[in-house]
Chain A
Amino acid sequence: MKPAASTAAAAPPSTVGLWIELDPSLPAPACCDERIRRARGLVAGLDALPGVGSILLPCLPADVTPMTALFTDAARPDRLVSDKLRVVAAGRDPTVRRAVIASAERWGDSCLDRLAGLGATASLGSWRAALARLAEDPRRRAFAAPRRIIKLVKLWGRLWMAEAILAVVRLLPPPQASAVADLRRRGASATWIVSPAETAAARRLRGPKILDLGGSALPARARPPLRRLAGAAAAVVAPSRHVADAMAGLLGGKQCHVIPPAPLPVSPEGTSEESGRLRLADELRELFSAGVRAPLHRHFCDFPFERADYLVAVPTGGDPGPLLAAFATVLRRHRRSLTLVIDGRLPRGEGPLDEVERLGLSFDVAEARGLSEAGRARLLRHARAVVVDGDGDCLPAAFSEAVALGTPVVMAGSPATRETLTTNELAAAEHCDAASGPDGLVRAILHALDHRDEVLARQRAILARLAARTWADAAAAMLGLAERE
């Protein structure tokens, strides 16, 4: 491994591009995506570098408006965070593709919801229990069992039809490829900072590329294209040595440089405590009302969030099982009446949501994906504590954001966290280091809840030290690498 590049780089290139591919199954970019918040930090850093003339942020036509909103300066709502930034539309409009994906997913969710209403799941093995339950129903009508079987078969067939549609859509060329082709056709050339993605389309962008592994844990589907992206990149950077080591096998022998990030900027809302909570509650209810009528949404679409205490959990892409188990223990064994609000959503697939149901937490865990930037800041600010579990890539961005907003953070002590904090800080912030398994995480959460002010004061001191490093330092180091390579 090479040491981190010096910030004393050659003159930065005139145009720098940021390449972020969104998850195609999501309807729009959202501020809970850490890559986007990290990109905001990088834009701020690039803006401060005198040699950078413009910053390109290409995105699909349908994403221009929401992406622009995410990069709007909170202090100047009619301006972006940098005057050099240009959010440009490129590629085909993904609206139809996304509509098909969204419809198929809703269709599938609705089938699962209706199957659940009959006491069944997508697994054929659950049908026996569903039919047994029917037999106990005093209101059942004549021929109830054959009718129920027909209904189950129909729902099961529709569910698999929805899955088949999703599979076919995934086989079609990704819209990101058309965006790259569009940029090439327009002669857009820049030094590109590329986030890992589910496609390797970015390798065809014109200009040197820096593959930036920071931002979030890599989804499984982003791992295969990584080798090809790394092969096309002038340099690969990671936010910590831990990530660099963990990713070494996926980079095809490419060297990985460590460039630690700076704390992410946040915008305190500037409203009173009470009105802030009310606005947050309204936004959350709106979010759940607009969502799929899945059980979780149905419980929270009119929930009085303004009256309830809650923890925020920041998913890091890993298994949320230990976090859910720790929350269940905090709630039940230690009797803390709290809701767990997920900043974003739990990884999809059979596991996490089943785990929520298995632990009987259906009414205690809410997924909040799609909040505005201000809404997300309110969510963090009014939480009793923020919990980041999993093997994150560095000190989690949520740490700096939450602590800056006055909320203590509990982190599982990943190797990357230990790498970022000094020995003294780790010793002073024992509540941060909950590497001792589920019980450790439970103790850490309870400690943060019971000694909130003390924990916050210590974490603010850590944040003050980390804030000495700026995004301009990080951006200059990245561009310096591109020049050198």
Chain B
Amino acid sequence: MTSPPTTVGARLAVLLPHAYLGGTIRLLQNLVRHLAGRWPGPLVLAVPADHRPAIAAELEAVRRDAPGLEIRGFRWRPLEPDEARALAVEAGLDVGRWISGRYQVPADGGADFRDCGFWLFVSDRLEYPLVPLRPYGVFVTDHLQRYVPEIFDATAYADPDSAPWNFLRNVRNADLVVATSRDTAADAIGYAGARGPVVRLPTTLDVDHFTRLAEAADADADAMLPAMPFFAWVTNPSPHKNQLRMLRAIDRYLRELGGTLDIVATGVWTDLFDPDLPAERRAGREPQWNTPHVREVREAVAALDPTVRRRIRFLGAVPDDAYARVLRSARFLAHNVIADNGTFSAVEAALLGTPSVSSDYPQMREIDEAFGLGLRFFDPFDERATAEALLAGESLPPPPDDVGRRIRDLSWRAWDESLVEAIGAVIAQDAREGQAESRPASRARIACL
């Protein structure tokens, strides 16, 4: 068995637990860049082996910025309870109660990351409880299911081996939790029941992405945009995006309040909300097309008054330059969710000179405060208030000029030492406990796994 590195300069592994794309990959890149500049020991970036080709360019980019970086592919190795116990005994892991039906460990075909002193997962979405053969940390963006339980099937909450249970179990047993907002940090403790320290990073904003976006907005006009003035509604098919209430609010905005703007909805798969989407444009996306919630939204769109229906355009996902063009051309951006980790779309819009209206929830308040966006907030449960906010959006002043400066001030490049220090403290603590109990690989007792 590989002995664990027990010093602060130990090898550190940053793991991407699933085949994520987009924002999570940008977060991963920036996290690795940050750690590469500050962590005193070797750094390993681990991604799902099957996913490696899909993000080859991003991996190459981060390797250029962090020359000493080792990149490994890995697979999750599922474990039956007996196997998990045997592995834990071998590793000197002290577990109070074994309560789960299945476990997992990351496997890279070699030392299986046991040559690392700490594992840092960039998401808490681990399907099964992790057997923590090394101290580990998780990056928690939000506990959305606490506020929008519909994102999981109702039976999942009754099944203690289901994903919602396991996500929380992995946060509970983590030696370190990293959160990006006050409320997510509070939920990590009050909901997931994190027993380890919770470290807050001010923001995971990707400044380079914003710079590219600002430049991209200068590209040629996009033929997809309507001729009439419009506002942009950035959304996606998840139920927490509150589409049904938003549609009713739009109806009220146009028909009762005399709203003058058309609506352009954009975001992944939002074109599937269009009841008139030609069959060839949904080819290969039948499962998403038939998702109950997407179908429900589509039916709600179809039921709108034709005069309203005609004024909404569903673009779906668009390239960055088209997205930038949409934001720059819009009178304002509308962000409507019941809860989530806050969106940087409003910051993107502000950078392009477009104001925003947003549903009122703590993470978005925090972003508004940090970037000085001057958002107009509304209650996402109140359709009338939403419609009134949309009307008010027509006359919102442009956002302040210094958003660009604030973005630079709050980018990952401005992160302090707190994450590195917290990881170092966990490794040092682990080493102390190992020496005290004369068990080289011993860990702090885990109450339940």
Residues of chain A touching chain B, judged by Cβ–Cβ distance below 8 Å, are 113, 116-117, 119, 121, 129, 133, 285, 289, 293, 295, 298-304, 307-309, 331-333, 335, 337-339, 357-364
Contacts and interface: CB of A to CB of B under 8 A. Distances in A.
Nearest to A356: B157
B191 A362 contact: no
Contacts, number: 93
B159 A302 contact: no
Interface residues on B, range: 35 or more
Contacts of B152: 360
A127 to B, nearest CB: 12
A335 B361 contact: yes
Nearest to B198: A307
A289 B189 contact: no
7 contacts: A116-B160, A298-B448, A304-B193, A333-B381, A337-B190, A359-B149, A360-B157
A335 B183 contact: yes
A117 B162 CA distance: 8
B21 interface: no
A364 B193 contact: no
A116 B159 contact: yes
A161 B150 CA distance: 34
Interface in B177-194: 183, 186-187, 189-191, 193-194
Contacts of B165: 295, 298-299
Given A119-B155, A289-B97, A332-B148, 10 more contacts: A117-B160, A119-B159, A298-B99, A302-B195, A303-B172, A308-B189, A331-B147, A357-B154, A360-B157, A362-B157
A363 B158 contact: no
A302 B361 contact: no
B362 interface: yes
A421 to B, nearest CB: 33
B168 interface: yes
A333 B362 CA distance: 11
A116 B158 contact: yes
B189 A304 contact: yes
B183 A337 contact: yes
B158 A357 contact: yes
Q: 5 smallest A-B Cβ distances: which pairs?
A: A360-B149, A302-B447, A116-B158, A308-B190, A362-B157
Contacts of A121: 158
Contacts of A333: 381
Contacts of B157: 295, 357, 360, 362-363
A295 B191 contact: no
Contacts of A309: 190
Nearest to B172: A302
A332 B191 contact: no
B190 A295 contact: no
Nearest to A116: B158
Contacts of B147: 331-332, 335
Contacts of B343: none
A116 B145 CA distance: 19
Interface in B343-382: 361-362, 381
B338 A332 contact: yes
B195 A364 contact: no
Contacts of B155: 116, 119, 129, 133
B28 interface: no
Contact of A335 (B189, B194, B362): B362
B194 A304 contact: yes
Interface string B263-290: 0000000000000000000000000000
A300 B186 CA distance: 17
A293 to B, nearest CB: 7
A295 B154 CA distance: 14
Given A295-B158, A363-B191, A302 B96 contact: yes
A298 B449 CA distance: 10
A138 to B, nearest CB: 11
Contacts of B158: 116, 121, 295, 357, 362
Contact of A363 (B146, B195, B362): B146
B182 to A, nearest CB: 10
Contacts of B183: 335, 337
B307 to A, nearest CB: 32
B68 interface: no
A337 B191 contact: yes
A299 to B, nearest CB: 7
B168 A301 contact: no
Contacts of B186: 337
Contacts of A116: 155, 158-160
Interface in B134-184: 145-150, 152, 154-155, 157-161, 164-165, 168, 172, 183
B40 interface: no
Contacts of A302: 96, 172, 193, 195, 447-448
Nearest to B156: A119
A113 B146 contact: no
B193 A303 contact: yes
Contacts of A295: 157-158, 160, 165
Interface string B327-349: 00000000000110000000000
A128 to B, nearest CB: 12
B101 interface: yes
Given A295-B158, A308-B190, A339-B190, A364 B146 contact: yes
